[in-house]
């Protein structure tokens, strides 16, 4: 087919994007911009765009259900906010990091804090610094897909530094899946942090969006509609099926139906076999989709009458705590945005098959509050400071980047020229964030429109 023919064909095509998180919103935008004559429908299962970035419905907390920061390195996210015309909502601040170790809080912002950090001996601090330097100088991370992060970190930093420093950090990000993840995950995190500090020569500036992500996505909805995208909310897709004439039928739980030429699915890969029963997807890909292990999160948000600690991120190295970190959101977000109160997020990351996902909310109350008392002991934390609390959960946030994941990652085209997958599973190494997902969209777009 000539380039001109191809262009004419796509101009008149019908596209559906499933999922209205940042990935789906930017995909719909880019497709519609490239082919203004095409029909682009964005189907979102819930009553609002924004996916995991926005608040819950109903919203008891007055803020996003999970915590979000923006960093100066989130260039593509910043561009998107500019396109939406909401960049004036960004607020920048410096944020502090701490460790709860040996029953005490320790600041961990500057090299001096590092030298003072009590859990490690001087020799261990030297090994830690050398391992970070070593990791930051590796330029080809490919071989690191073949070794787990825990084995690699034990090798380069020694077992004691691993146990006292790296293991708690890995647990904070991955919970009980921390032993499975490939070394690429930690290598790319170290490289990014190291590069940031080198480039800026100061503590990273952290940003947040005034009002949280909800207003951003409500502007995104208007922006997409103005571009010509048909936005359908409360449209949970229940099946994607082959019509027989080369087009695809999408059915939604509300009884709706859309017939399109190309579909891009942005939800969890695990649901593909169930959704696509009559699509000609190779069986090997469906099997792969079903076997991907996901990392999920349980996160309790606690609203307090006074600040809990001065850190945005408090890493926990002491064993036996029921959550994997403490995020002091109100050290970043001005408390005037949350009714003068202070929000603390208590995340616990865990693999999707962890039985804790099936426990009722009440099962977490006592362990979480006892742990807050233990950590907040020195500042006299009392339960009657808690105005309200709420547990949020998401079982399928992103695939666990296990050893060999770079080879197991599903391709973008599942059925060439008809069905595509672009979700959090695209990320190879590194942490999930909105800017990274926009990058995956920009990178995958040509493949979707080829």
Among 22, 182, 224, 272, contact with ligand FAD (rule: CB under 6 A): 22
Gap between the terminal Cα atoms of the chain: 11
Segment interacting with ligand FAD (CB under 6 A) among 100-108, 329-337, 352-360, 434-442: 434-442
Number of residues that bind ligand FAD (CB under 6 A): 34
Q: Are 10 and 449 in contact (CB under 8 A)?
A: yes
Q: Which residues are CB-contacts of 237 (< 8 A; sequence separation ≥ 6)?
A: 18, 43, 45, 250, 251, 252, 253, 265, 267, 275
Q: Is 52 among the residues that bind ligand FAD (CB under 6 A)?
A: yes
Q: Are 235 and 45 in contact (CB under 8 A)?
A: yes
Nearest to 65 by CA among 82, 80, 48: 48
Among 13, 15, 17, 18, contact with ligand FAD (rule: CB under 6 A): 18
- Residues 28, 389: Cα–Cα separation, whole Å: 36
Q: By C-beta, is 146 or 241 nearer to ligand FAD?
A: 241
Q: Is 67 among the residues that bind ligand FAD (CB under 6 A)?
A: yes
| Backbone φ and ψ of 16, nearest 5° | -125, 135
Among 433, 439, 441, 445, contact with ligand FAD (rule: CB under 6 A): 433
Q: By C-beta, is 7 or 253 nearer to ligand FAD?
A: 253
* Residue keyed to tokens 């060439």: 416
* Residue keyed to tokens 């109100």: 330
- Residues 77, 432: Cα–Cα separation, whole Å: 13
Q: Is 69 among the residues that bind ligand FAD (CB under 6 A)?
A: yes
Q: Is 432 among the residues that bind ligand FAD (CB under 6 A)?
A: yes
Q: How far is the CB of 348 from ligand FAD (least distance, A)?
A: 10
Buried b (16+ CB within 10 A) or exposed e, 234-249: ebbbebbebeeeeebb
Q: Are 107 and 366 in contact (CB under 8 A)?
A: no
Site string for ligand FAD, 184-223 (x = CB under 6 A): ----------------------------------------
Q: Is 325 among the residues that bind ligand FAD (CB under 6 A)?
A: no
Q: How far is the CB of 423 from ligand FAD (least distance, A)?
A: 6
Q: How far is the CB of 78 from ligand FAD (least distance, A)?
A: 11
- Residues 46, 84: Cα–Cα separation, whole Å: 22
- The secondary structure of residue 162, as a DSSP letter, is I
Among 16, 20, 41, 262, contact with ligand FAD (rule: CB under 6 A): 20
Q: Are 63 and 55 in contact (CB under 8 A)?
A: yes
341-400 positions binding ligand FAD, by CB under 6 A: 347, 394, 397
Q: Name the site residues for ligand FAD (rule: CB under 6 A).
A: 18-24, 43-46, 51-53, 66-69, 236-237, 266-267, 297, 299, 347, 394, 397, 423-424, 432-435, 437
């Amino acid at each position: 087919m000539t380039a001109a023919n191809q262009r004419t064909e796509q101009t008149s095509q019908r596209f559906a994007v499933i999922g209205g998180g940042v990935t789906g919103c930017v995909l719909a935008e880019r497709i519609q911009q490239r082919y203004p004559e095409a029909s682009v429908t964005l189907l979102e299962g819930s009553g609002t765009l924004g996916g995991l970035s926005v608040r819950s419905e109903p919203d008891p907390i007055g803020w996003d259900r999970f915590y979000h920061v923006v960093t100066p390195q989130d260039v593509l996210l910043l561009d998107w906010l500019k396109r939406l015309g909401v960049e004036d909502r960004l607020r920048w601040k410096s944020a502090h990091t701490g460790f709860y170790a040996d029953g005490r809080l320790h600041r961990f912002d500057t090299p001096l804090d590092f030298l003072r950090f009590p859990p490690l001996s001087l020799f261990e601090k030297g090994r830690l610094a050398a391992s970070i330097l070593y990791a930051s100088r590796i330029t080809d991370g490919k071989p690191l897909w073949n070794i787990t992060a825990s084995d690699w970190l034990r090798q380069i930093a020694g077992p004691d530094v691993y146990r006292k420093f790296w293991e708690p950090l890995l647990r904070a990000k991955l919970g009980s899946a921390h032993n499975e993840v490939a070394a690429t995950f930690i290598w790319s995190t170290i490289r990014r942090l190291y590069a940031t500090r080198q480039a800026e020569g100061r503590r990273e500036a952290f940003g947040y969006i005034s009002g949280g992500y909800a207003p951003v996505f409500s502007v995104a909805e208007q922006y997409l509609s103005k571009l010509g995208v048909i936005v359908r909310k409360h449209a949970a897709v229940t099946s994607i099926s082959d019509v027989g004439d080369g087009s695809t039928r999408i059915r939604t739980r509300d009884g709706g139906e859309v017939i399109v030429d190309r579909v891009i699915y942005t939800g969890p890969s695990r649901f593909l076999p169930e959704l696509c029963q009559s699509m000609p997807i190779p069986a090997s890909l469906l099997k792969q989709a079903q076997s991907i292990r996901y990392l999920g999160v349980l996160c309790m948000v606690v609203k307090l009458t006074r600040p809990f600690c001065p850190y945005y991120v408090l890493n926990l190295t002491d064993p036996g705590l029921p959550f994997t970190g403490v995020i002091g959101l109100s050290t970043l977000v001005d408390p005037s945005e949350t009714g003068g109160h202070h929000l603390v997020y208590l995340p616990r990351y865990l693999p999707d098959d962890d039985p804790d996902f099936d426990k009722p909310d009440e099962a977490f109350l006592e362990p979480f509050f006892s742990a807050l008392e233990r950590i907040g002991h020195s500042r006299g934390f009392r339960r009657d400071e808690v105005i309200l609390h709420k547990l949020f959960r998401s079982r399928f946030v992103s695939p666990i980047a296990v050893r060999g994941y770079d080879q197991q990652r599903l391709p973008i085209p599942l059925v060439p020229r008809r069905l595509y997958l672009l979700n959090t599973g695209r990320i190879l190494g590194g942490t999930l964030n909105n800017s990274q997902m926009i990058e995956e969209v920009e990178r995958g777009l040509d493949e979707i429109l080829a």
